[in-house]
Amino acid sequence: NAGVTQTPKFQVLKTGQSMTLQCAQDMNHNSMYWYRQDPGMGLRLIYYSASEGTTDKGEVPNGYNVSRLNKREFSLRLESAAPSQTSVYFCASSPRVSREQYFGPGTRLTVT
């Protein structure tokens, strides 16, 4: 079992460029999440998907979109990257929303 995998590990974008962060889990979990982690801010929820076919906004959704492609995969898209989106992005999954979450290794994004 790989658990939660994320691609890419590192990415540098110019302001205004777009990109999609990929996440996949092989634990047959129903719920998946995207967080960003910034120094001094802890982990903040961007979007989550309680189950296949549903997505909901988290604490900081502005500037992002998500797609729950199937039960395994949950992608995060930046349509027009801004320097404020420089951060480390983590994907996580859980059996359902009220249970423990398991995190991927993260994507380190820099927007110049």
Where does this chain bind other proteins (CB under 8 A)?
A: 4, 40-43, 45, 48, 50, 58-59, 90, 97-106
Nearer to other proteins, 17 or 55 (CB): 55
Nearer to other proteins, 19 or 45 (CB): 45
Q: What is the dihedral of CA 55, 61, 63, 66, to 10 degrees?
A: -20
Q: CA 30 to CA 58: how far, in whole Å?
A: 17
What DSSP character marks residue 95?
S
Minimum distance between the CB of residue 11 and other proteins, rounded to whole angstroms?
A: 15
Minimum distance between the CB of residue 43 and other proteins, rounded to whole angstroms?
A: 4
Nearer to other proteins, 13 or 90 (CB): 90
Whether residue 45 contacts residue 32, with contact meaning beta carbons closer than 8 Å, is answered with no
